Amino acid sequence: MKPLPVIQPAQPAPPQTGPLETAGMVDDAARHGALMPAIVKALSTVFDPELPVNIYELGLIYEVIVDASSRVGIRMTLTAPACPVAQILPAQVRQAVEAVPGVGGAAVDVVWEPPWSQDRMSDTAKLQLGLF
């Protein structure tokens, strides 16, 4: 009888492997100010499936750029490089932001610097997770 092969668990690919899509984007203060409340509201509907807190309150969103054509660039991170939702969460963020009225498209880059820590969480998130 032939031994069964050992199957290794799949490791998620690193989310960002090339140059940042948001690298050439320039923030337009007027467009940023006009769209940011709705963008934050949209980001607040996206949750890390392992934690009962949205990604905005978790501090996973590092930067939001809104250029003069209302295209939005998001630089975000994950709670860990081997996060099981590494391939799913950035797409959910892009879809949520692109659904905001007035947004002319979105690019999402996952970055690892600075590393995420609980210090990035809002007080609301810390309270929800019982960290106070």
pLDDT at 123: 94
Is residue 74 a contact partner of residue 108, using CB atoms and an 8 Å limit? yes
pLDDT at 1: 52
Is 1 inside any structural domain?
no
Measured at the CA of 73, the angle between CA 60 and CA 94, to 5 degrees, comes to 70
Q: Is the pLDDT of residue 131 over 90?
A: no
Is 37 inside any structural domain?
yes
CATH of residue 82's domain is 3.30.300.130
Is 3 inside any structural domain?
no
Is 6 inside any structural domain?
no
CA dist 36 and 85 (Å) reads 25
Q: What is the pLDDT of residues 17-67, one digit of tens each?
A: 568 899 999 999 999 999 999 999 999 999 988 888 999 999 999 999 999
Q: Closest Cα to residue 94, out of 104, 106, 85, 103?
A: 106
pLDDT at 19: 81
Is 113 inside any structural domain?
yes
Label residue 12 by pLDDT band (50, 70, 90).
Answer: very low
Q: What is the pLDDT of residues 59-110, one digit of tens each?
A: 999 999 999 999 999 999 998 888 878 889 999 999 999 999 999 999 999 9
Instruction: Name 64's bridge partners.
Output: 74
Q: How deeply is 30 buried, as exposed, middle or buried, from its count of CB atoms within 10 A (0-12, 13-18, 19+)?
A: exposed
Is 23 inside any structural domain?
no
pLDDT at 18: 64
